[in-house]
Amino acid sequence: MKTAISPTRVENYPEWYQQIIRAADLAEVSPVRGCMTIKPWGYALWENIQRELDAQIKALGHKNVYFPMLIPASFLAKEAEHVEGFAKECAVVTHTRMVRDETGKMVPGSPLEEPYIIRPTSETIIGEAYSRWIQSYRDLPLLLNQWANVMRWEMRTRMFLRTSEFLWQEGHTAHANATEAHAEATTILNLYANFAENWLAMPVIRGEKTASERFPGAVNTYCIEAMMQDRKALQAGTSHYLGQNFARAFNIKFLNASGVEELAYTTSWGVTTRLIGGLIMTHSDDDGLVLPPKLAPTHIVILPIIHKAEQRSAIMEYCDKLAHQLRAIHWHGRKLEVEIDSRELGGGEKAWSWVKKGVPLRLEIGGRECEAGNVSVSRRDKTYRERSTVPIDALLADVPQILDAMQTGLHTRARDFQTTHTVEINNQTDFYDFFTNGDGGFASTHWNGDAKIEAKIKADLNVTIRCLPLTEDAHVRGTCPFSGEHSAQRVIFAKAY
């Protein structure tokens, strides 16, 4: 069967991913190394993610702020692990003007005394501010967040998944004690997990990173890990308990209720435009993008099918009225977004363009539907040919349930996929076989906690420990198949993006 996207997932998964982005017109590679241009359809997805996440973050008492994008290079150096983690991939601003050289070429002029780096993350510049803003326990907790662009000079980039510049939100909080700060980190982890499950329809495993995968400067890094359709893992969000590391580096101190000076406890956490990559790879098929309805920029497209000129005005009027009625429906905090596509294009080409863009519902209306008061309904989660003709009133009554069913259906399908490809593996041979000859996926396996074993598996198989799951069923004692030693819990191994 011919598919709209070529190659298919089975034929060439990485190339399929690029073609999905192109066919849905989400983004393109830019002339700036490693950076992408996010086009209207892709940016509308990000706006929908932002709107909902921002509301959820604010509902927990966080407020938004904006810190400068440039960070004095000396700030980076204040936290020892942090500088090691980020110095090797940061864009450095060294001059503040361009001038013409003797050949007429534009070259950098006016060197800066101290260079700036473009923020790869903002713990350092925010830490400096917190040291001034926080004086007393009455100033705590301090719960701030910002939506910003950040830059990490990555060697291998892929649109949405890993780009030199990306968009994100970064939360930064300070607390009077470790318990509260730690609770903040897990509260946010749960917020991210629920958002992934309920909005992106992307099932995730909540867990903690091993020391080698921790955020540079963190005490604990928590994460959500999703499984893509090639059975690789995608780290989709992280929440860090920073202990007093950044408080010490930036001198964030407060007088406690007894008048004694203490270092504060801080957290940081973020999700990025990478979520869009996760959404694409979780749901899309060989005909194009598939969007979870709750995040779709357009929920419904109406396609007038006009064969004779004299039908035009009646059909268009019918479409306008239907669009108007649908737009009055509220669904999960938004009015339904409905578009009428009246471009002069063949009906097939037109419908396929919306299939590729992942719009949940397509409504076709020709002379017959118009006369009978009907509409032909196609769902993006069914095949292109499958459609049902129903009376307008029935559609209007059922639309919210149809969209709910689609949202739930995508989640269930992805959850089943993840479950099917998550396997408990208890010996080393099976483990190596799973990742070399087998299909791969998530291996739930015991591990003694030794970083050398972790490193060897990475070197041998390019497989990493995605996380130590927080779920109870992972907390069973057992034997590490790589060392024969005691293991306190199962961990998730996988290849990853």
Least distance between a second copy and beta carbon 23 (Å): 16
Rounded to whole angstroms, what are the CA distances from 33 to 155, 212, 315? 10, 28, 48
Q: Is 91 in the site for a second copy (CB under 8 A)?
A: yes
* Max CA distance (Å), the chain: 85
Least distance between a second copy and beta carbon 393 (Å): 30
Query: Which listed residue (45, 53, 71, 290) binds a second copy by CB under 8 A?
Result: 71
The candidate with the shortest Cα–Cα distance to 291, out of 274, 279, 278, 275, is 279
The candidate with the shortest Cα–Cα distance to 113, out of 98, 90, 96, 89, is 96
Q: Is 74 in the site for a second copy (CB under 8 A)?
A: yes
Least distance between a second copy and beta carbon 118 (Å): 7
Measured distance CA(120)–CA(79) in Å, rounded: 14
| Amino acid at residue number 291 | L
- DSSP code for 63: E
Least distance between a second copy and beta carbon 126 (Å): 9
Q: How many CA atoms lie within 13 A of 444 on its CB side?
A: 20
- With respect to a second copy, which residue has the nearer C-beta, 7 or 72? 72
- With respect to a second copy, which residue has the nearer C-beta, 276 or 474? 276
- With respect to a second copy, which residue has the nearer C-beta, 131 or 445? 131
Strands 442-446 and 422-424 come out as parallel
Residues between 111 and 150 with contacts to a second copy, criterion CB under 8 A: 115-118, 125, 128-129, 144, 148-149
Least distance between a second copy and beta carbon 94 (Å): 5
Site string for a second copy, 26-45 (x = CB under 8 A): --x-xxx--xxxxxx--xx-
Residues between 225 and 254 with contacts to a second copy, criterion CB under 8 A: none
Residue 74's Cβ-count burial label (10 Å; 0-12, 13-18, 19+) is exposed
| Angle at CA of residue 88, ends 82 and 91, nearest 5° | 100
Query: Which listed residue (4, 87, 402, 470) binds a second copy by CB under 8 A?
Result: 87
Number of residues that bind a second copy (CB under 8 A): 60
Per-position DSSP letters for 217-276, written without gaps between them: T-SEEEEEEEE-TTS-EEEEEEEEEEETHHHHHHT-EEE-TTS-EEE-EEEEEEEETHHH
Q: Which of these segments, 12-20, 70-78, 243-251, 305-313, binds a second copy (CB under 8 A)?
A: 70-78
φ, ψ of residue 7 to 5 degrees: the values are -75, 165
Q: Is 106 in the site for a second copy (CB under 8 A)?
A: yes
Query: Which listed residue (4, 93, 329, 405) binds a second copy by CB under 8 A?
Result: 93
Site string for a second copy, 161-200 (x = CB under 8 A): ----x-x---------------------------------
Q: Is 94 in the site for a second copy (CB under 8 A)?
A: yes
| Angle at CA of residue 407, ends 396 and 287, nearest 5° | 95
Measured distance CA(276)–CA(43) in Å, rounded: 10
Q: Is 291 in the site for a second copy (CB under 8 A)?
A: no
The residue ranges that bind a second copy (CB under 8 A) are 28, 30-32, 35-40, 43-44, 46-47, 63-77, 83, 87-99, 106-108, 115-118, 125, 128-129, 144, 148-149, 151, 153, 165, 167
